[in-house]
C-alpha cells in the first residue's frame, strides 16, 4: 500500500510508527512496545496487524512477513 491509500482513509495495518510506510522499523516498534519501551508516535490501532485486539509478537512477525513479500 502507498501513502495515498493511507491518506484516503485506508488503514495501513502494520505501520506501527505511523510514518506511512511498512518497514523493518515497524516490526521493531512493535517489539519495543511488547517489552514496554516507549515508542514515539506508536499507533496501537495499526500495530495490531491481525486485528485480534492484542499487540504481540505475532503482529511483529506479520510485519516481517509483509516485508519479506514486498
Ligand atoms: Ca512505518
Ligand atoms: Ca494482534
When comparing pLDDT for 8 and 31, which is higher? Answer: 31
Alpha-carbon distances of 27 from 8, 9, 10, 19, 47, rounded to whole Å: 24, 22, 20, 13, 9
pLDDT at 51: 95
Distance 11 CA to ligand 2 centre (A): 15
Query: Which residues, including other chains, have CB under 8 Å from residue 52's CB and lie 6 or more apart?
Result: 58
pTM for the full model? 0.83
pLDDT at 1 over 70: no
Query: Ligand 1: distance of its center to the CA of 45 in Å?
Result: 13
What is the reported pLDDT for 53? 97
Side-chain half-sphere CA neighbours of 58 within 13 A: 8
- Domains of the chain, start order: 3-69 (1.10.1330.10)
Q: How is residue 25 written as a grid cell? A: 522499523
Of the listed ligands, the closest to the CA of 44 is 2
pLDDT tens by residue, 9-59? 678 999 999 999 999 999 999 999 999 999 889 999 999 999 999 999 999
Amino acid at each position: 500500500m502507498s501513502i495515498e491509500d493511507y491518506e484516503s482513509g485506508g488503514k495501513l495495518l502494520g505501520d506501527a510508527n505511523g510514518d506511512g510506510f511498512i518497514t523493518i522499523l515497524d516490526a521493531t516498534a512493535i517489539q519495543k512496545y511488547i517489552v514496554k519501551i516507549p515508542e514515539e508516535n506508536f499507533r496501537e490501532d495499526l500495530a495490531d496487524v491481525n486485528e485480534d485486539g492484542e499487540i504481540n509478537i505475532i503482529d511483529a512477525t506479520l510485519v516481517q512477513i509483509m516485508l519479506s513479500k514486498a
